[in-house]
Structure 1
Amino acid sequence: MTQEVLVVGTVSQGTREEVSAVVKALEEAFNTKDAVALGEQFATDASWTNAIGTRLDGRTAITEFSAPALKGFLSDSYARYDITKLLEVAPGVIAVNVVQTPTDATGGPAEGPWGSALYVIAERPDGWKIVAGQNTAVHTPAT
């Protein structure tokens, strides 16, 4: 379900690639159940609200929460993350809308809840990182 990405503001091709790489790394970490790699996509002081409504503050808290979740109730959950919109909030700060489509372990179509996420990704000294965001589970395909 790859679709055209709506770009609002001046978002260079290089920035698009950097931001997309963060989203792809997050997807890969989720699908391989690697909490450390997942946590590395977040800034050390990030604020994240997950799909069950739990707010987590800081990379350490995000990683510590994710480890048992990925090995437990999310162990059979896989998804494809498609960017649908990039909004330049300020120089070096991009709001990213992402649709999460359920897949099986091989990336094929699967039944399950879809996700709609908003990531605020900012350029930090250690690279582009998610500084804030929210993930929302939806029971019908996200638009």
Structure 2
Amino acid sequence: MTSDILVVGTISPETQAAVTGVVKGLEKAFNAKDPVALGEQYTQHASWTNARGTRLDGREAIAEFSAPAMKSFLRDSFARYDVVKMLEIAPDVIAVNVVQTPTDSTGTPVDGPRGATLYVIAEQADGWHIAAGQNMAVAPQAV
């Protein structure tokens, strides 16, 4: 793990890697405009509130909502998701702060709204997934 991540609690390197992998999987799915892969990062009964304040409950609802958004207003939006903090809530439950930086399709940072996201990522029988989260838009900053 990079030293840029503040880790609070006893979180093993393996768990840190797994949790970061979920965030990077979400980033990859968003940038590929793949709502199914995006939905797979969430637990079956996840609760997610997007940057517009819409709460979505369940993996299927998250994927269904994301599909038309990715084809319309998010079509030309790309981002980098950087984990900045992990907080151990319980042995298999980690709160994760993520900074979202807008990029172009090649990953180069661009001007635009940023995001500050909080995920609760929990280990499930089939691996680590987002159980709950909320995204907040942050005013654009010059690159």
Fold match by TM threshold 0.5: yes
TM interval, shorter chain, is over 0.9
Q: Which runs of 4+ in 1 moved over 6 A?
A: none
Deviation at 1:50, TM superposition (A): 0.4
Task: Return the letter of the residue paired with 2:115.
Answer: G
Gaps of at least 5 residues in structure 2 are none
Does the Cα contact within 8 Å between 1:79 and 1:104 map onto a contact in 2? yes
Aligned to 1:109: 109
- Correspondence 1:119 to 2:98: no
Aligned to 1:5: 5
Task: Return the letter of the residue paired with 2:70.
Answer: L
Deviation at 1:116, TM superposition (A): 0.3
- Correspondence 1:129 to 2:125: no
Deviation at 1:3, TM superposition (A): 7.0
Q: How many residues align?
A: 140
CA distance in 1, matches of 2:118, 2:71: 24
CA distance in 1, matches of 2:92, 2:41: 16
Task: Return the letter of the residue paired with 2:67.
Answer: A
- Correspondence 1:25 to 2:21: no
CA distance in 2, matches of 1:75, 1:58: 23
Aligned to 1:34: 34
CA distance in 1, matches of 2:59, 2:117: 18
CA offsets 1:44-75 (integer angstroms, 9 cap, x no match): 00000001000000000000000000111001
Does the Cα contact within 8 Å between 1:47 and 1:56 map onto a contact in 2? yes
Task: Return the letter of the residue paired with 1:36.
Answer: V
What is the RMSD computed on CA atoms of the aligned residues?
Answer: 1.2
Q: What secondary structure sits across from 2:73 in the alignment?
A: coil
Gaps of at least 5 residues in structure 1 are none
Q: What secondary structure sits across from 1:14 in the alignment?
A: helix
